[in-house]
Amino acid sequence: MNKDIISSLRPALVMTLLFALLLGIAYPLALTGVGQALFPVQANGSLVRENGKIIGSAVVGQAFTSERYFNTRPSAAGDGYDGLASSGSNLGPTSQALADRVKNDIARLSETSPGHPVPSDLVTTSASGLDPHISPEAALFQVARVARVRGIDPAAVRRLVEQSIDRPTLGFLGEPRVDVFKLNRRLDAFGAKPGA
Amino acid sequence: MTFQGWLLIAAFVGILLLLTKPMGQWLFALYEGRSTPLHRLLGPVETGFYRLSGIDPNEEQGWRRYAVHMLIFNVVLLLFTYGVLRLQGVLPLNPLGFDGTSADLAFNTAVSFTTNTNWQSYAGESTLSNLSQMLGLTIHNFLSAATGIALAFALFRGFARRETKTIGNFWADMTRVTLYLLFPLCMIYAVFLIANGVPQTLAGSVDVSTLEGVKQTLALGPVASQEAIKMLGTNGGGFFNANSAHPFENPNTLTNFVQMLSIFTISFGLTWTFGKAVGNPRQGWAILAAMLTIFLAGVTVTYWQEAAGNPILHQLGAGGGNMEGKEVRFGIAASALFSVVTTAASCGAVNAMHDSFTALGGMIPLLNIQLGEVVVGGVGAGIYGFLLFAILAVFVAGLMVGRTPEYVGKKIEAREVKLAVLAIAVLPLMILGLTAIASVTEAGLAGPLNKGPHGFSEILYAFTSAVGNNGSAFAGLTANTPFYNGLLGVAMWVGRFFIIIPMLAIAGGLAAKKYTPETAGSFPTTGVLWTGLLVGIVLIVGGLTFLPSLALGPIADHLAMMGGQLF
């Protein structure tokens, strides 16, 4: 036993150092080099720039709460869509806090778009708190409000939504969804057109 | 439940079955120490490592020496990471300027990553520097996975070898698995992830001015390099708090599908390697069939429950499946499937928050871990855990027909059965014992976020996850306290090594036995009857012990949910 321990010390110490160099330093640094060379946009967070300003990431969601925009889902990341504090609510199925929150959100949303059932993804928090998507139903639910606030034709807004629906990859990977950041940029661009 | 959802599950299993044999063959080459095409490139690294550390890779080790060398190596790795975490404040590559972590958190995290658990008491993006993630954690993701596979090889040799005292060389097994399997696969995998939007940079964060004119700071870092091995090595420790739900870790539905495949693929392959090692690949397929039976039953329950949704929310007007704690891009099916895969496999990565699942939907991940994560299982740990159950199964079969039990040419005698029971008993003893302590102490009861039975489930899940070396959580539990960091750290260590040591003792004992050829009186261990018996033993021996605790937690929670009772 003692002999086994003594014979293990040198390999244990040296192997730890060697693998630390290979896997802890060389591997991530080599990949950083490869990533930065081959996919510089993605490797740096898929940032979207407009007029030299970084206005978002094409991958990560940002908060939309104003009536002029299609709203994102409620978020438990910090005060909402905090990129330094990703998190779900972790409220369980029998949580009073969850039921109260959902009840309030449904009441609020029903006021802005009366007569339509509220899609459930609009009143539930995502797992990351940074969900970039909403369901097509949740986008269509908001069409009337957005059109009214912006004073544009609801049919045109509806068309924008329909053009923004991403279908499941290969027909079965994931769900139909709408990227809210992309949709809202289209909305801004649409409003900026003369005569629109 | 939808047709697309079932198509996803069918495609997932189908692709894995296609990958099983090629992966198994590659692993078999490493098991035998044969040369692979990658030796031309990485062979000099391997021999260089041996030379510098004074290792003779051809030196055969008995089970005691194999165990001691493995254990000492793990202790050194543990201390190394403990040091890195404590000192991160003065070490480089710390763009957000984090201080060193507290002693209890460093202890918990170092144990967690050494034992392939990757339980995370901290939130990655607000606690750890880039250097800590790379040097402190990524290295464990490789080496704890390689250790698991090496240990499985050792047990395979116990079954395959005849009348010898040795079960291989730990250093050679561990090094070969790292260099010729995990490292090259991760290089390719990580580039795929980067191409799909997973960041890989040394920057710490970037400021965004959103369309609504608010400042949003996005945490960045070397994410892809950690993400690849996190899945492939069934580690599960995310770069970010939200793990594979975070869009930077798992940006789209394709990466999600590949992440699920990469959790299972090595463990699927190892069943084939086992069959090949004992001279009959059908032995491996029989094990895989039993694993898949339990896995698909679990997927069905969780998918069904999540798709059915929460009647309490339905009553309020939010219809449909349960979307609390899920991402829209994955939806119900891919979230339910991921949760069962990650807990079947001792991975612990999550793409949805298990804490917010429906009561029974969340019970399946819990039960998967309680079964010992032998349903497919973590890399290496899954198959060696399952073989312990196989030993019990032939023992039970032997009792029923009144013959000395045999398995793949080895007589299974009192020593093997005793050691297998010892290893299997670690799970209920530790999980239930520690849950009981936490449920009656003030420090323990301060943890849960949710009230009522769901709060108990959070505590039970934490200790289950720790002892089972899974690492996923009912994450509402506030676990970054000295009480939980300490107890969970001990739980992870015992849950890993107190199973490994009896398992290696079995391997050593089996290697010394002579070959017992199969006769007409042997119980066949390849057919449907055997698969059924395996499923039964895993569910009865592994699962029944935990039924009372499940009744107090998820089952009570389910009844409350159906009755509209809130806490």
Per-residue H/E/C for B44-93: HHHHHHHHHHCCCCCCCCEHHHHHHHHHHHHHHHHHHHHHHHHCCCCCCC
Full residue range of the structural domain in which residue B82 is found: 34-252
Extract the tokens encoding B542: 């592994």
Together in a domain, A28 and A63: no
Full residue range of the structural domain in which residue A14 is found: 2-42
| Residues B57, B173: Cα–Cα separation, whole Å | 9
Residue from A23, A36, A68 to probe the interface with B (highest B Cβ count within 10 Å): A23
Together in a domain, A56 and A33: no
Q: Locate tokens 């023992």: which residue?
A: B395
Together in a domain, B83 and B155: yes
Q: Mean pLDDT of all residues in chain A? A: 93
Together in a domain, A7 and A71: no
- Residue A26, CA distances (Å) to B138, B177, B504, B548 in order: 11, 18, 33, 49
Write a three-state SS string for B532-561. Answer: HHHHHHHHHHHHHHHHHHHHHHHHHHHHHH
With residues binned 3-state (H G I as helix, E B as strand, rest as coil), the percentages for chain A, rounded to 5, are 50, 10, 40
Which residues from A are below 8 Å from B78, CB to CB? none
| Residues B470, B483: Cα–Cα separation, whole Å | 20
Q: Check residue A192 and give its pLDDT.
A: 65
| Residues B231, B116: Cα–Cα separation, whole Å | 11
Put simply, whether B559 touches A (Cβ < 8 Å) is no
Judged by CB atoms closer than 8 Å, whether chains meet at A175 and B329 is answered as yes
Q: Is residue B142 part of a domain?
A: yes
Give backbone dihedrals phi and psi of B219, rounded to 5 degrees, phi first. -70, 135
Which residues from B are below 8 Å from A84, CB to CB? 125-126, 205, 217-219
Residue A182 burial by CB count (10 A; 0-12/13-18/19+): exposed, middle or buried? middle
Q: Is residue B265 part of a domain?
A: no
pLDDT band at A1 (very low <50, low <70, confident <90, very high): confident
Judged by CB atoms closer than 8 Å, whether chains meet at A120 and B319 is answered as yes
Together in a domain, A137 and A102: yes
Number of domains within chain B: 2
Q: In this complex, how many residue pairs, one in chain A and one in chain B, have their CB atoms less than 8 Å apart?
A: 386
| Residues B452, B556: Cα–Cα separation, whole Å | 9
Judged by CB atoms closer than 8 Å, whether chains meet at B331 and A174 is answered as yes
Q: Locate tokens 């059965």: which residue?
A: B417
ipTM score: 0.96
The answer to whether B479 touches B446, Cβ cutoff 8 Å, is: no
Q: Is residue B13 part of a domain?
A: no
Long-range (24+ apart) CB contacts under 8 A made by B524-527 are B525/B283, B525/B286, B525/B390, B525/B394, B525/B407, B525/B408, B526/B280, B526/B282, B526/B283, B526/B285, B526/B286, B527/B286
Nearest chain A residue to B260 by CA distance is A173
Q: Check residue A196 and give its pLDDT.
A: 39
- Crossing angle, helix B63-86 and helix A2-19, to 10 degrees? 50
Judged by CB atoms closer than 8 Å, whether chains meet at B125 and A86 is answered as yes
pLDDT at A16 over 90: yes
Q: Check residue B460 and give its pLDDT.
A: 97
Residues 67-86 of A with CB under 8 A from B: 69, 73, 77, 81-86
Q: Is residue B316 part of a domain?
A: yes
Put simply, whether B238 touches A (Cβ < 8 Å) is no
Together in a domain, A29 and A83: no
B29 to chain A nearest CA, in Å?
A: 22
**In 3D, which of B336, B367, B419, B399 has the Cα closest to residue B533?**
B399
Residues 179-218 of B with CB under 8 A from A: 183, 186-187, 190-191, 194-203, 205-212, 214, 216-218
Q: Is residue A114 part of a domain?
A: yes
pLDDT band at A174 (very low <50, low <70, confident <90, very high): confident
Judged by CB atoms closer than 8 Å, whether chains meet at A55 and B76 is answered as no
pLDDT in tens, A26-64: 999 999 999 999 999 999 999 999 999 999 999 999 999
Residue from B77, B353, B366, B555 to probe the interface with A (highest A Cβ count within 10 Å): B353
Together in a domain, A169 and A185: yes
Judged by CB atoms closer than 8 Å, whether chains meet at A55 and B252 is answered as no
| Residues B348, B365: Cα–Cα separation, whole Å | 10
Tell how many helices (H) and how many strands (E) occur in chain B: 22, 4
H-helix or E-strand containing B183? Answer: helix B183-195
Residue from B113, B216, B232 to probe the interface with A (highest A Cβ count within 10 Å): B216
Angle at B363 between CA B357 and CA B365, to 5 degrees: 85
B324 to chain A nearest CA, in Å?
A: 5
Residue from B55, B218, B474 to probe the interface with A (highest A Cβ count within 10 Å): B218
- For the segment A71-93, the average pLDDT, to the nearest whole number, is 96
Extract the tokens encoding A1: 């036993």
Residue B147 burial by CB count (10 A; 0-12/13-18/19+): exposed, middle or buried? buried
Put simply, whether A142 touches B (Cβ < 8 Å) is no
- Residue B405, CA distances (Å) to A44, A116, B96, B398, B421 in order: 59, 66, 60, 5, 16
Q: Is residue B338 part of a domain?
A: yes
Q: Check residue A170 and give its pLDDT.
A: 86
Q: Check residue B543 and give its pLDDT.
A: 82
Residue from B187, B323, B561 to probe the interface with A (highest A Cβ count within 10 Å): B323
Together in a domain, B211 and B287: no
Together in a domain, A76 and A130: yes
Q: Cβ atoms within 10 A of the Cβ of B417, count? A: 19
| Residues B173, B152: Cα–Cα separation, whole Å | 10
Q: Check residue B45 and give its pLDDT.
A: 97
Q: Which amino acid is at B455?
A: G
**In 3D, which of A131, A124, A128 has the Cα closest to residue A101?**
A124
Q: Is residue A177 part of a domain?
A: yes
| Residues B430, A71: Cα–Cα separation, whole Å | 46
Together in a domain, B365 and B459: yes
Together in a domain, B220 and B94: yes
| Residues B543, B553: Cα–Cα separation, whole Å | 15
Selecting from A7, A22, A60 the residue whose C-beta is nearest the C-beta of B247 gives A60
Q: Where would I find the beta strands (DSSP E) of chain A?
A: 47-50, 53-57, 133-134, 165-166, 177-179
| Intervals of chain B under pLDDT 70 | none
Q: Is residue A117 part of a domain?
A: yes
Number of domains within chain A: 2
Q: Is residue B484 part of a domain?
A: yes
Q: Check residue A193 and give its pLDDT.
A: 55
Q: Locate tokens 């957000």: which residue?
A: B96
Together in a domain, B558 and B510: yes
Residues 69-128 of B with CB under 8 A from A: 69, 72-73, 75-77, 80, 123, 125-126
